[in-house]
Amino acid sequence: MSGARKPQCVVVGAGPAGLGAALAAREAGLRDVMLVERDFELGGILPQCIHDGFGSMVFGQVLTGPQYAQRYIDRVEKAGVEVKLNTMVLEMAPDRRMTLVNSREGIYDIEPASIVLAMGCRERTRHQVMIPGYRPAGVICAGAAQRDINIDGLMPGRRVVILGSGDIGLIMARRFTLEGAEVEGVYELMDHPGGLTRNVVQCLHDYDIPLHLSHTVAFIHGRKRVEAVTVAAVDGNLKPIKESERLVPCDALVLSVGLIPENELSKQAGVELDPVTSGPVVDERMETSVEGIFACGNVVSVFDLVDWVTRTAETAGRAAAEYVLEGRKRGAVVRVNPGRNVKFVVPQVVGSLDRGADFYFRVEHPERAVRAMVLAGGGEVYSRKAKMVRPPEMVHAGIDAVAGSGKVLDVTVEVVEEEGGASKKKKRGRR
Amino acid sequence: MNAVKLPSRAGLVVVGGGVIGCSIAREASRYTPDIVVLEKESDVSCGTSKANNAEVHSGIGEDAGTLKQKLNVRGNQLYDGFVQGLGVELKRQGLLIVVTQRTVPAGGTSGLGEDERMDILTRKIPEGIIAYGENAGIKGLRALTREEVFRTEPNVTREAVAGVFDPTYGLISPYKLTIALAEHAVINGARVFTDTEVTGFRVEDGEVKAVITGRGEIATSLVVNAAGVFADDVADMAGAGGFVIHPRKGASLLFDRQVTAEYVHSSVAEFRMPGTRTTQSKGGGAMPTAEGNLQLGPTAIETGDKYDTSISAEEIEEIFERFHYLLPDFPRDALISAFSGVRAPTEEEDFVIGASEAVRGFVNVAGIQSPGLASAPAIAEMVLGILQDLGLPRDARGDFNPVRPAPPKFSELSHAERNRLIREDPRWGHVICRCETVTEKEVVNAIHGIVPATNMDAVKRRTRTGMGRCQGGFCHDRVAAILARELGIPITAVTKDGEGSPIFLGFAKDFLGGEAV
């Protein structure tokens, strides 16, 4: 297929990650950037996120989702990125050949010089968290409900129980309430909320919606449409306690039980995935294990703030441009070790720190008065105090250029207790 | 939903639009077009037929001498011809029966020497299974060594010591088959009425005269009762009963196709010594579905409720535990769906097929539980004979159309074929369901099909929308919108599976108006 078009860069997915990456690749000098989106509009999930809280880092302003998206859509269009809407990537091979389909052009192959994966994530469903019961209408994921209400103006429930206190669940508790539905309560399996503290306050407390920690939905009742759910407290193994079961009449169960990066195409292309994040293993330039294929945003790891998504997108887009224009390739890499109280780190590998790097990580358990540290080759290259770290909140460590880092053999990211200067030095000294 | 008027009379009325009712209707349509199928749900294949493990059994799991085994063995042999022209694929993937170390435990109470035990496990049991099967008329059975077991199925337990391979086992999508049979019957003149519940019969002088429904009466002298778990109730309405269905639930787990496609290639079951069975289930197995997902199950639980299609936490756990031994590393996390079906056993645990002695013209086809799907062709053949004895025409029609055209499936076509279709109709290039790559045109085709899909589940069974890993999260609103557009109904009238199951409860603007709450 020598007749196939050969764009310099194809970005898959036009949410915040794809928009940011396409723009960055274009601004870094690529003439021919193609942005492929399977939906009918740009912006990904942002157009349905009509609440505010977006952009404080990138724009220094608090915007709604549509506003945040529109700023990027305007810039992408102005920059001359080729946008393909209603277009789906059917296949992607390790040699970067892709097969696309849309109504206008049919099926066709392209052979891009570089690819940026920006497919985002999807919601975990009822059966992935194994909720027993019937299978009636009215069991819906929070993001899907958000789309129904905010885009289509349709109510998937009148009397709602929400399972999961992730940010989308919390925001939807408020959203349903504002639209005239009744939210009976939010139930959370863990003993702490899954979402940002500000959302617990602004979405639940302000509207008197009860949050039941250490609870789950043990059964869904209703053959045709949800009629009720059985809720129950859970024990130390997160199993429902029979004696605590309570029947809650409702007509919808809204699930906010986690997000999974959408990596079906990445797998086709042979990209190595990280079992902890479920996203590609990337280096500090957001390049995956397959040369010339980069990734950014929620397809790499689910971020809690869109601003971080944009940051990774800019890194990926720039790196894709450098790969095409300058032939800059990933050198030998070292693993990044998740140290004390760190669940995972993106990037998972580092080729070089000579231009600096952004590390994003989540802690395993909440902790107060700590210090986030990055150690490279035994030396400390980043250290910052934090009053509080919590698993739902991604921690960012942006390190400056480290001269001579080509010889780095070992990178560790960790959170240590902040006990005053002396002990800090001691800890470092051990490294 | 269905406003079409019922006909005032019909040569044959089949009560129940499951795989059995539709098989009989299709076979009967070879002789007469004058057939009506009545289904109380909103689509065909809504009961037991839609929620089973999709297996075309060979008969090896049935008790010798039962009608079940006889019709199962015969049905399996008829299957290739039965599906010919229907556009539904039958995969003969075979069954691997695994004999493991625990089949006859070492030491302890058995008092067997180790050599003797291994001889039983690796020689006598396989030989016994083969002899039993051959005696029932099942051909091609062969014994496998331990190494051959692993070569056939690399993921089974290292505790396997031998096996038997039964190549006649098949897989077929039960709901696709049922829909295709219904459509094939319709192509040949039959009429299918959904949302139509039978409420009684008119019987005069010991002869059936009419079927009474919620939507009117159909005069007829021939009735087939293929009402599944409700067959006893339907028979009693006519005074043609005398058997009792005690509903028994079976739950299965279904896994992400992308993760599990190659996990097992055949149906895989563990052999258990006769008499050690703890439930009425044959024990279930691990198998790919007709479309490549891994499936585990089913359970067998007496429920007492013919509508009990729930699945309990205990059942989910039971299935995982049962198969953990057979497939130690199966990808538990890839679970995407769990479902239950209700089987229709009688007290005798055998099929009840025959003309009623009390009511002439009334034929019961009841107690059809597993292996009902496998037996369907043989059941239809047998029932046809009975109907012909009761007056159905015996001469095959000259104008019978042997082909039911299957609507094309985008995901199964070559790029060249896809391009041709997109040029014809751009809706072929518009992907609606991303997980299963289903296009707008396929959804439209389903809605306007020969047996039309009028709700979300009906579209799903025909196209796979919402069957993938996101379970409809990304496409439910789009499919609902297409249904509303094509059926000319408000989107708030779109249902999951018929009356009482709306997807949306209203428009947001109406909720705030106050009166809607």
pLDDT digits (tens, 9 = 90+) for A218-247: 999 999 999 999 999 999 999 999 999 999
The pLDDT of residue B464: 95
**CA pair distance B64, B129, nearest whole angstrom:** 12
Residue range B126-144: average pLDDT? Answer: 97
pLDDT by residue (tens digit) across A348-361? Answer: 999 988 889 999 99
Chain B residue whose CA is closest to A224:
B501
pLDDT at A192 over 60: yes
Structure tokens at A386: 């934090």
The mean pLDDT value of chain A amounts to: 94
> In this predicted complex, what is the ipTM?
0.94
Q: Nearest C-alpha of chain A: how many angstroms from B503?
A: 6
Instruction: State the pLDDT confidence band at B108, using cuts at 50, 70 and 90.
Output: low
CB burial string A153-177: b at 16+ within 10 A, e below: ebbbbbbbbbbbbbbbbbbbbbbbb
Structure tokens at A340: 């004390």
- In total, the C-beta contacts within 8 angstroms joining chain A to chain B are 155
CB burial string A368-390: b at 16+ within 10 A, e below: eebbbbbbbbeebbbeeebeebb
Residues B67/B356, Cβ–Cβ less than 8 Å: no
**CA pair distance B321, B319, nearest whole angstrom:** 5
Instruction: State the pLDDT confidence band at A423, using cuts at 50, 70 and 90.
Output: very low
Q: Nearest C-alpha of chain B: how many angstroms from A109?
A: 10
Q: Which of A166-180, A186-200, B323-337 has the lowest mean pLDDT?
A: B323-337
HEC secondary structure over chain A: CCCCECCCEEEECCCHHHHHHHHHHHHCCCCCEEEECCCCCCCCCHHHCCCEEECCCCCCCCEEHHHHHHHHHHHHHHCCCEEECCCEEEEECCCCCEEEEECCCEEEEECCCCEEECCCEEECCHHHHCCCECCCECEEEHHHHHHHHHCCCEECCCEEEEECCCHHHHHHHHHHHHCCCEEEEEEECCCCCCCCHHHHHHHHHHHCCCEEECEEEEEEECCCECCEEEEEEECCCCCECHHHCEEEECCEEEECCCEEECCHHHHHCCCCECCCCCCECCCCCCECCCCCEEECHHHCCCCCCHHHHHHHHHHHHHHHHHHHHCCCCCCCCEEEEECCCCCEEECCEECCCCCCEEEEEECCCCEEEEEEEEEECCEEEEEEEEEEECCCCCEEEEECCCCCHHHCCCEEEEEEECCCHHHHHHHHHHC
Q: Which residues pair with B201 in a beta bridge?
A: B211
Instruction: State the pLDDT confidence band at B283, using cuts at 50, 70 and 90.
Output: low
**CA pair distance A134, A371, nearest whole angstrom:** 48
Q: Determine, for residues B336 and A88 on separate chains, whether the beta-carbon distance falls below 8 Å.
A: no
Chain A residue whose CA is closest to B331:
A128
Residue range B46-73: average pLDDT? Answer: 94
B236 Cβ contact partners less than 8 Å away, ≥ 6 residues apart: none
Give the SS3 label for residue B161: strand
Closest CA to B249 of B183, B316, B156, B182: B316
Contacts of A99 in chain B (CB under 8 A): 415
Structure tokens at B369: 């539980």
CB burial string A122-137: b at 16+ within 10 A, e below: bbbbbbbbebbbbbbb
Residues A148/B477, Cβ–Cβ less than 8 Å: yes
Chain B residue whose CA is closest to A44:
B474
The pLDDT of residue A421: 46
Q: Determine, for residues B496 and A133 on separate chains, whether the beta-carbon distance falls below 8 Å.
A: no
Q: Determine, for residues B336 and A127 on separate chains, whether the beta-carbon distance falls below 8 Å.
A: yes
Q: Which of A62-71, A402-411, B4-13 has the lowest mean pLDDT?
A: A402-411
Residues 429-458 of B with CB under 8 A from A: 429-431, 434, 437, 456
Residues 252-291 of B with CB under 8 A from A: 258
Give the residue from B415, B419, B420 with the most A CB atoms within 10 Å of its CB, the best one to mutate: B415
B154 cis-preceded (ω within 30 degrees of 0): no
DSSP state of B350: S
pLDDT by residue (tens digit) across B439-488? Answer: 999 999 999 999 999 999 999 999 999 998 899 999 999 999 999 999 99
Contacts of B499 in chain A (CB under 8 A): 224
pLDDT at A382 over 60: yes
The pLDDT of residue A418: 84
Pairing of β B170-171 and β B191-193: unpaired
Structure tokens at A131: 């909720």
Chain B residue whose CA is closest to A264:
B258
Q: Which of A135-149, A369-383, B33-47 has the lowest mean pLDDT?
A: A369-383
Contacts of A88 in chain B (CB under 8 A): 431, 434, 437
Residue range A83-96: average pLDDT? Answer: 97
Report the predicted TM-score, pTM, of the whole model to 2 decimal places.
0.94
How long, in residues, is chain B?
A: 517
The pLDDT of residue B513: 65
Residues B10/B218, Cβ–Cβ less than 8 Å: yes
B320 touches chain A (CB under 8 A): no
Residues A179/B511, Cβ–Cβ less than 8 Å: yes
Residue range A258-271: average pLDDT? Answer: 96
Q: Which residues pair with A283 in a beta bridge?
A: none
**CA pair distance B47, A163, nearest whole angstrom:** 30
A47 touches chain B (CB under 8 A): no
**CA pair distance A106, B430, nearest whole angstrom:** 9
* Backbone φ/ψ region at B364: left (φ over 0), alpha (ψ -120 to 50), beta: beta
Chain A residue whose CA is closest to B507:
A154
User: Pick from A154, A240, A267: which is nearest to B507 by CB?
Assistant: A154
Residue range B106-129: average pLDDT? Answer: 88
The pLDDT of residue B252: 94
Output the DSSP codes for B101-136.
Answer: GGGS-SSGGG---HHHHHHIIIIIHHHHHHHHHHHH
Ramachandran angles phi, psi of A199, nearest 5°: -75, -35
Give the SS3 label for residue B337: strand
B298 Cβ contact partners less than 8 Å away, ≥ 6 residues apart: B52, B53, B250, B251, B252, B281, B284, B319, B340, B341
Q: Nearest C-alpha of chain A: how many angstroms from B508?
A: 5
End-to-end Cα separation, chain B, in angstroms: 25
Instruction: State the pLDDT confidence band at B260, using cuts at 50, 70 and 90.
Output: confident
The pLDDT of residue B281: 55
Q: Nearest C-alpha of chain B: how many angstroms from A226?
A: 9
A41 touches chain B (CB under 8 A): no
Please give the helix or strand (H or E) that residue B27 lies within, else none: helix B19-28
- Which range of A318-322, B62-66, B281-285 scores highest in mean pLDDT? It is A318-322
pLDDT by residue (tens digit) across B397-427? Answer: 999 999 999 999 999 999 999 999 999 999 9
Residues A111/A34, Cβ–Cβ less than 8 Å: no
Closest CA to A347 of A314, A300, A395: A300
Structure tokens at A154: 């349709």
* Backbone φ/ψ region at B159: left (φ over 0), alpha (ψ -120 to 50), beta: alpha
A147 touches chain B (CB under 8 A): yes
pLDDT by residue (tens digit) across B347-363? Answer: 999 999 999 999 999 99
Give the residue from B511, B512, B515 with the most A CB atoms within 10 Å of its CB, the best one to mutate: B511
A123 touches chain B (CB under 8 A): yes
Structure tokens at B232: 């006893």
**CA pair distance B511, B193, nearest whole angstrom:** 35
Give the residue from B308, B430, B435 with the most A CB atoms within 10 Å of its CB, the best one to mutate: B430
B417 touches chain A (CB under 8 A): no
Give the residue from A110, A121, A149, A223 with the most B CB atoms within 10 Å of its CB, the best one to mutate: A223
Contacts of A101 in chain B (CB under 8 A): 418, 422, 429, 431
A371 touches chain B (CB under 8 A): no
B190 Cβ contact partners less than 8 Å away, ≥ 6 residues apart: B25, B26, B28, B29, B33, B35, B36, B37
Give the SS3 label for residue B33: coil
User: Pick from A126, A140, A179: which is nearest to B508 by CB?
Assistant: A179
Closest CA to A55 of A295, A311, A315: A311
**CA pair distance A21, A287, nearest whole angstrom:** 12
The pLDDT of residue B278: 54
Chain B residue whose CA is closest to A138:
B503
Q: Determine, for residues A264 and B419 on separate chains, whether the beta-carbon distance falls below 8 Å.
A: no
**CA pair distance A372, A411, nearest whole angstrom:** 14
Ramachandran angles phi, psi of B310, nearest 5°: -80, 165
- Residue labelled with tokens 């070879």: B30
Q: Which of A194-198, B110-114, B243-247 has the lowest mean pLDDT?
A: B110-114
Residues A424/A416, Cβ–Cβ less than 8 Å: yes
A383 touches chain B (CB under 8 A): no
Distance of CA A392 to the CA centre of its chain: 11
Residue B425, judged by CB atoms within 10 A of its CB (0-12, 13-18, 19+), counts as: middle
Contacts of B422 in chain A (CB under 8 A): 101, 103, 106-107
Q: Which residues pair with B87 in a beta bridge?
A: none
Pairing of β A121-123 and β A33-36: unpaired
A416 Cβ contact partners less than 8 Å away, ≥ 6 residues apart: A340, A370, A371, A373, A424, A427
pLDDT at A405 over 80: no
Give the SS3 label for residue B17: coil
Instruction: State the pLDDT confidence band at A431, using cuts at 50, 70 and 90.
Output: very low
Pairing of β B35-38 and β B191-193: parallel
Structure tokens at A430: 């051990």
| Greatest extent of chain B over all pairs of C-alpha atoms, in Å | 81
**CA pair distance B148, B146, nearest whole angstrom:** 5
Angle at A31 between CA A28 and CA A37, to 5 degrees: 90
Pairing of β B362-366 and β B223-225: parallel
The pLDDT of residue B361: 98
In chain A, % of residues over pLDDT 90: 87
A148 touches chain B (CB under 8 A): yes
Instruction: State the pLDDT confidence band at A301, using cuts at 50, 70 and 90.
Output: very high
Contacts of A36 in chain B (CB under 8 A): none
The pLDDT of residue B509: 85
- Residue labelled with tokens 């043990």: A218
B216 Cβ contact partners less than 8 Å away, ≥ 6 residues apart: B5, B6
Active centre residues of B (catalytic) = 57
Q: Nearest C-alpha of chain A: how many angstroms from B496?
A: 6
pLDDT at B320 over 60: yes
Instruction: State the pLDDT confidence band at B277, using cuts at 50, 70 and 90.
Output: low
pLDDT at A363 over 90: yes
With the C-alpha atoms ordered A13, A17, A22, A25, is the resulting torsion angle positive or negative? negative
pLDDT at B185 over 90: yes
B495 touches chain A (CB under 8 A): yes
User: Pick from A134, A137, A240: which is nearest to B503 by CB?
Assistant: A137
pLDDT at A289 over 50: yes
